[in-house]
Structures are given as C-alpha cells and as structure tokens.
Amino acid sequence: MRRRLLITLTAVGSLIVALAGTGLFAALHDTARSGTNQVQTGELPSSADLKVATAVMGGPVACGDFSDDLSSGLFSATFEQGATTIGAATFCLRNEGAQTVALTMGVEDVSDTELDCTGDEAVYDPTCATGMVGELSGVFQQNVYELDCATSAPTPLGSGSLAAMQVTPVALGSLNQNQTRCFAVGTLLTATPEQQQAAQTDQVTWRYVWSGDVS
C-alpha cells in the first residue's frame, strides 16, 4: 500500500513538471512588441551660404536680387582733376546657411597699371612708362560702413587701401541664419601731393570678396 502511494505521488510530480514545461504557468509572464520604428533627418542647407546683392539707399535700403556672386563690379569711374573720391556703393549680404557666420570684406585680383606718363609723374615715379606697374592701389582707400537697413544710417566698420585690404580684410561682424545686413563702401584718395603726382594716369582693377566663416 505504501509502495503504491509513493509510485502515485512520483507520477503526479512528473506530470506537474511536464505540464510546467509546456506552458501551464505561461500566464505568469507575457510580452508585447511594437512594429518597426523609423526616424530620419531632413536635408539641411550648407553651414555657410553667403549671398550678395547690390542695393540703393534712400530711407530704407532697397536690396536687389541676391546671388552667389555679382556679375559686375561696384565701381567704374575716373577721378576728375583734383577730386579725392568717386563716391560710395551700397550692397546687402544675406546668410542662407544653417549656422551663424563671421563676415569679412577684402579684395583680390588687384592689378596696378601705368596708362601713361604725364605731367611731373616721372619726377616721383621711377616706373613711369606705359604698361608698367602703377601706384594707385596703395593710396586708394576703402571706407566700409554698416547701414541701418530701415533708415540707411551709417556706422563705420573699418578702412584700408586696396593694397592693405588684399592682405587684411575688414571685419564686418556676424550674420545669423536667414539674416540680411546692409553695407556701403566709400572711396577716398589719401595720397600726398607727391603720391598724387606718382599715381596720375594710373589704373587699378580689383574684385571685392566677402567671406562668411563658421566659428
């Protein structure tokens, strides 16, 4: 009798273990899962994307169409006898990049040429001959201003001759994403009478270059 009871208990225990292995107690644990998730980033503009436009002052500054580069220069003029300036030019800069940039304005491709040797020029200019290197870039100063875009009120930012700005650009401050700022560049012949004699009938050509750098 006792042996028969032990056999029965052993069989029942084995059955319980077997049933546990087949999920009898699965109700004590459950799992839920989502479908596949997906996240992606959209396209961003370049970190720095500087645009430039010519502009007209007169109360609010009227900026023209913005582009990567200007197709023409800001100045094309001749100094009249005794004149020390050929006026000013106005332009706008806009940042269409994704980050704030630090602006500078310099010049490049500066080329000085003697157009003729006139008056007393040969006394002060040892290279006074047509086609030789001229002296105008060293005395032709550029004065850079920020303009209030709403009122055209100017604030001086810096200055330098064309020769100097070729080496050290003028700092214009920062330009935030999608921000537009307005500027003007004035001209001044800063030569002494002797330098004016040496620089007569000279020609200088150059290109302005604006740079926006992410710090």
* 33-78 pLDDT per residue, tens: 888 889 887 776 778 899 999 999 989 999 999 999 999 999 999 9
Look at residue 38 and tell me if it is in a domain. no
Look at residue 139 and tell me if it is in a domain. yes
The per-type count for the chain, helices as H runs and strands as E runs, is 4, 9
Report yes or no: 138 and 163 within 8 Å, Cβ to Cβ: yes
C-alpha of 115 from chain center = 36
Look at residue 41 and tell me if it is in a domain. no
Containing domain of residue 182, as a range?
Answer: 50-68+84-213
Domain total for the chain?
1
Q: How far is CA 47 from CA 96, 130, 131, in A?
A: 9, 47, 44
Q: How far is CA 86 from CA 24, 75, 123, 149, 185, in A?
A: 98, 8, 26, 23, 11
Look at residue 19 and tell me if it is in a domain. no
Closest residue by Cα to residue 109 from 165, 185, 54: 165
Positive or negative torsion for Cα 196, 199, 201, 207:
negative
User: pTM of the full predicted structure?
Assistant: 0.78
* 14-37 pLDDT per residue, tens: 544 444 455 555 578 889 888 888
Look at residue 114 and tell me if it is in a domain. yes
Look at residue 17 and tell me if it is in a domain. no
Look at residue 147 and tell me if it is in a domain. yes
Look at residue 40 and tell me if it is in a domain. no
